[in-house]
Amino acid sequence: MSALDDARLVLLRHGETTWSTQHKHTGRSDLPLTEHGEDQARAAGPLLAALKLRDPLVFTSPRSRAMRTAELAGLTAATVDADLAEWDYGDYEGLTTPEIRESAPGWTIWTGTVPGGESADAVRARADRVLDSVEPVLPQRDIVLVGHGHFSRALIARWAEFDIREGRRFAMSTGALTVLGYEHETRTVLAHNLVPITTS
């Protein structure tokens, strides 16, 4: 069996924020976790422990909601990677999809334009850069990336060698985990949108 068959790349989306509960696009805005979001982050800890990761390297988005999630999940010694920041929503920051569709009918982040923000091509390039940087380490150590909803979905699509727009196929809840890896040395999705059980 190849060493790659044991390799895992784990994505952890940050816990709930006030804007995530309202489905507002939250990119540059540095919102804290809600109380429930902190509970979600703590609950991710036992789920991560159950994976029995191999001496994991941890990287986190520079946003405080991601760094706090990593801390509460017990992911120590995390390295901040600016490339793990959420999609830059530009003029659509803080708006919901229905609000955006009032001026851009049928709009989605995956298929529409983002005035003043990042294009899908720019996000794809960033996702590819992240994956290119971590993949060489995977034969020796597992890796955990703590970040955001849309950018994590972009990472999943690119890991699976899909076009960036196919991130729309991978809904990801706050506080959820996705496990990427290999089967017979081919990139695959091992588990997706695992939501820890919380007490709140």
Name the residues annotated as catalytic.
Answer: 14, 86
Rounded (to 5) percent helix, strand, coil in the chain: 40, 15, 45
Considering only CA atoms, which of 47, 26, 40 is closest in space to residue 69? Answer: 40
Phi-psi bin for 23: left (phi > 0), alpha (psi -120 to 50), beta? left
List strand residue ranges (DSSP E) for the chain, in order.
Answer: 8-13, 57-60, 79-80, 143-147, 177-183, 186-194
| CA atoms of 92 and 104, how far apart (whole Å) | 11
Considering only CA atoms, which of 2, 6, 5, 10 is closest in space to residue 143? Answer: 10
Considering only CA atoms, which of 121, 111, 120, 124 is closest in space to residue 156? Answer: 124
What are the b/e assignments for 74-84, b being 16+ CB within 10 Å?
ebeebeebebb
Place of tokens 């986190």: 60
